[in-house]
Structure 1
Amino acid sequence: MNQQPTPNFSQRAWRFMSEGIWEIELSSLSRLKRLGINFVRVVLLVVKGFQDNECPLHAASLTYSSLMAIVPILTLALAILRGLGAGEWAEQRIIQSIAAMPDQFQDFVVNLFTYVKNTNFATLGGIGLVLLLWIVVHVLSCVEMSFNRVWGVNLHRRLLRKFSDYLSIVMVVPILMVAATTINATLSNPELIQLLQERFGYAHFFYSWFLSFLPLLATWAAFIFLYKLMPNTRVLAMPAIVSGVIGGSLWVGWQWFYIELQIGISRYNAIYGTLASVPIFLFWLYISWWIILLGAEIGFALQNYSTYKMEQKAHGASTQSRIMLALSIMSHAAQSMMINVPQFEINAFAHTHRVPVRMIHEVVDALVKANLLADVSDGEGRYVLLKVPDSIRVKDIINVMVQNGVTPRSLGLDMLNPAIRHVMGKMDAGSAEALKDFSIADLLQLHSRLNQAPLMNLPS
């Protein structure tokens, strides 16, 4: 018998990083070792998610979409700021904040503001205003779709919630980004610094340090707000904060690095001439979206790394696995209703039972489309049954999962062999006869008889 060759160091290291790291039982390890292993797991999950979710491709798509809509978005954002009496102030601060950028980049931004100033809402008319709003909503919908892809969410916001949430983003994020430079400029007043130096002596150095830190704080706040609000699912506070801090820091670092690249920027003038500002701005915009999506992956990894061992296998889950998960979800939702806790939270279910969250979203989406569950939180992950447990047949849930996707008729499979339809009909009739009127309520009663315990402990 031929012996398998002994794996070399690189092969053993690769196997450990891809499989072994997820098989380690953490309960017996020290706190420091658990922290180190969880850190490695998060990093691996971010790298794999960034590749599997095609984030560089989405960054390119968002670069194009945002470039097409940058004038409408700026027009709407500055119009809101003008209504608050801060339009001119915001424009001046943005121009001041890019003073260190390449000349071509500054020219591009100045031209953008010129176009924005020439946009007159009165002359646009009703149709023009609706078109402008549609462009803004469309671009932000593209951003939401990219974030939802990262989080494994298939359902999108309702139209009314899109307007409310997107309006918040258009208002809050630009204000936070501009506020940093404004506060910095205000607190950098020479007279104020001299006064502090006279009053506190060498302690004013702490003030100077805090002053230099303000732009980063405002950037962190903007990224945290974006990562918390944009995905159409519940993002916990800590993953949003950590991913916002990391993403915001990378973005600020990218601005610094981009400024340092000015030496090579002059080469574009010889190639593109007066159009040199376009590729320069596109390059900056693409890397910015690249960083934003990387931060979204970090947030997902931090919130779901504990279930990733199963997440790796979720894409190849069998129909039987999906049926079992669907029945379990419906049973827990029914029990929530029976003990007067009408809302069933899928994120809590995922972490309690260590079930892949992306697989849960797929199954729940199918149940929502079948009118068995309803989202009562519009993306926050809380659902209720649309029927009483007695009227929900187990066979109906099985049919939803078996028939989820493209039908055989649409694929032309029902034309292959008439005998196949006969066999499939007998199989369906057999399962229907075996289950008859067996409902979710009956399933809960059966569970109680077999285990003498409720499915889960829920607060009353």
Structure 2
Amino acid sequence: MKKKIQDIIHFIQTGIWQVSRDDVSPLVYLLYSILKKLILTIRFFTTKRVMSQAAALTYSTLLAIVPIMAVVFAIARGFGYNKYIEMWFRDAFKSQPQAADIIVEFVNSYLVHTKSGVFLGIGLVFMFYTVLMLVSNIESAFNSIWQVKKQRSIFRTFTDYLAMLLLFPILIVLTSGLSIFIATVAGSMPDLLLLGPMVRFLIALLPYILMSAMFIGLYVFMPNTHVKVRYVIVPGILAGVAMQWLQLFYIHSQMWVSSYNAIYGSFAALPLFMLWMQISWTICLFGAELCYTNQNLDYYDYNTKTSDISHRYRIMLCTILASRICRRFDRGGRPYTALELCGETGIPIRIANDLLYAMIGARLLIEITSDEKGEASQFVPAENVDNLSLGVMIDRLESQGRWKIDLPLDKHYNENWLSALEVRREYLRKSREILLKDL
């Protein structure tokens, strides 16, 4: 038994990552791919402090939910749809009815005081600050998962988020109207043997569809990188179903909730709401990790981490990446993306991203990013390729960070030290004769 367990562990850690398409049948390879995606997602989820990000997003949500809903309610009232927005909001928080009542009360009070001019000025600034902080934190969490270093530009941040706030109430009204229409049709045909059950099934399925569509849109829209839609459909559906199951769990656990209310009284709504929000963000971020793994599985090696690579091997991998970038640039070709480099060199995507950004920090490469959402980043040399040699690359990479510390090093210098420094200079001098574009 112990031997079987060890064999299973060894297969998960090593064997499954060495299986190619030609080794097994298509069905078995598909099952192996699903298992690898789950393994990688769980590994990323547990090692990248995703739970801490979920806690931070929970705190930001608590600060921003009233201002955000105030904006949504205000826009909806302008179109005369505030009733539908409130119905949608209470339905979305049906597992937290006390929290929903409190938030709606706060929102209505917020709007009343805003009309009277009490919150104009400082209150308006605070509202926009909390909203932007929440959205910025969400984007940072998604960018961290996708290894994106560059945030949206200020212009794109303003336009994208403003468009989202304006479209959100319209989408809610449309979906609410669709739900009411389907419910009306179902109520008018109770005697039809076929259509009645089908419509009722569609009504029961509609919350899952809408929640899954919301997650799919979030996974495509939020990361500031090119996310392919086909890779987020399954994670979006899984996240939507998990959220609906979470709602059902909270709704059907009234006995546990009532005992919690007996201890905390009316204050129980806040910790229960925070717990629900933290679990919701955990589901959301786990789905985002699954999207990243789903899109980049072919360019990842389970057993390889950048921190495990030796300095010498890191230099060699940087040389491989930089030489290809310089060679294509010298020949007038289109700049490489990270995925193209991974496909040609076989270097895992996370290793390649880390090394590319290390070379950007060393002023060897430049990242070219379009302000368009669907464009992937490209990488070009930071200066004339005739100046970028192996010696220049090694010197700049080894010089990153703080170069001098206030220590009395002069007393250590002697003739042997000077000889060692001269050997080092000679090594770099000869390395500078080898251009990266020629490798």
Please give the TM-score of this superposition, normalised by the length of structure 1: 0.82
The offset of 1:274, in angstroms, is: 1.8
The whole-number CA distance in structure 2 between the counterparts of 1:18 and 1:337 is 39
- Gap change, CA 1:24 and 1:218, over 3 Å in 2: same
The partner residue of 1:374 within 367, 370, 373 is 367
Give the aligned partner of residue 357 of structure 1.
349
Give the aligned partner of residue 111 of structure 2.
117
The whole-number CA distance in structure 2 between the counterparts of 1:82 and 1:423 is 79
Contact 2:318-2:355 at 8 Å conserved across structures: yes
The partner residue of 1:272 within 245, 264, 268 is 264
| Corresponding residue SS for 1:373 | strand
- Identity in percent: 26
The offset of 1:293, in angstroms, is: 0.9
In structure 2, the gaps of 5 or more residues are none
Contact 2:84-2:173 at 8 Å conserved across structures: no
Give the aligned partner of residue 453 of structure 1.
none
Matched, 1:398 2:390: no
| Corresponding residue SS for 2:367 | strand
The whole-number CA distance in structure 2 between the counterparts of 1:302 and 1:207 is 34
Deviations 1:288-312 (A, max 9, x none): 0110011011112212222332563
Contact 1:155-1:365 at 8 Å conserved across structures: no
Contact 1:375-1:384 at 8 Å conserved across structures: yes
Give the aligned partner of residue 427 of structure 2.
431
Contact 2:367-2:377 at 8 Å conserved across structures: no
Contact 2:76-2:169 at 8 Å conserved across structures: no
The whole-number CA distance in structure 1 between the counterparts of 2:406 and 2:368 is 31
Count of paired positions = 433
Give the aligned partner of residue 221 of structure 2.
229
The partner residue of 2:19 within 13, 16, 24 is 24
The partner residue of 1:314 within 291, 306, 312 is 306
Contact 1:239-1:302 at 8 Å conserved across structures: yes
Matched, 1:143 2:138: yes
| Worse-superposed segment, 275-284 or 406-415 | 406-415
Contact 1:144-1:232 at 8 Å conserved across structures: yes
The offset of 1:193, in angstroms, is: 3.6
AA in 2 matched with 1:66: T
The offset of 1:226, in angstroms, is: 1.0
Give the aligned partner of residue 101 of structure 1.
95
Contact 1:228-1:237 at 8 Å conserved across structures: yes
Deviations 1:334-372 (A, max 9, x none): 344355543321123224433222222222223333443
Contact 1:180-1:214 at 8 Å conserved across structures: no
Please give the TM-score of this superposition, normalised by the length of structure 2: 0.86
The offset of 1:277, in angstroms, is: 0.9
The offset of 1:56, in angstroms, is: 1.8
Contact 2:369-2:378 at 8 Å conserved across structures: yes
| Corresponding residue SS for 2:270 | helix
- Gap change, CA 1:275 and 1:114, over 3 Å in 2: farther
Give the aligned partner of residue 8 of structure 2.
13
The partner residue of 1:213 within 205, 209, 230 is 205
| Corresponding residue SS for 2:376 | coil
The offset of 1:170, in angstroms, is: 4.2
The offset of 1:58, in angstroms, is: 1.8
| Corresponding residue SS for 1:377 | coil
The structure whose residues are more often helix, as a share, is: 1
The whole-number CA distance in structure 2 between the counterparts of 1:440 and 1:81 is 59
Contact 1:219-1:248 at 8 Å conserved across structures: yes
The offset of 1:264, in angstroms, is: 1.3
The whole-number CA distance in structure 1 between the counterparts of 2:76 and 2:333 is 43
Give the aligned partner of residue 157 of structure 2.
162
| Corresponding residue SS for 1:120 | helix
Matched, 1:54 2:46: no
The whole-number CA distance in structure 2 between the counterparts of 1:318 and 1:361 is 17
AA in 2 matched with 1:429: R
| Corresponding residue SS for 1:390 | coil
AA in 2 matched with 1:210: L
| Worse-superposed segment, 233-242 or 215-224 | 233-242
Deviations 1:9-46 (A, max 9, x none): 22222222222221223322110111111111111111
- Gap change, CA 1:300 and 1:76, over 3 Å in 2: same
Over aligned residues, Cα RMSD in angstroms?
3.2
- Gap change, CA 1:212 and 1:310, over 3 Å in 2: closer
Give the aligned partner of residue 454 of structure 1.
none
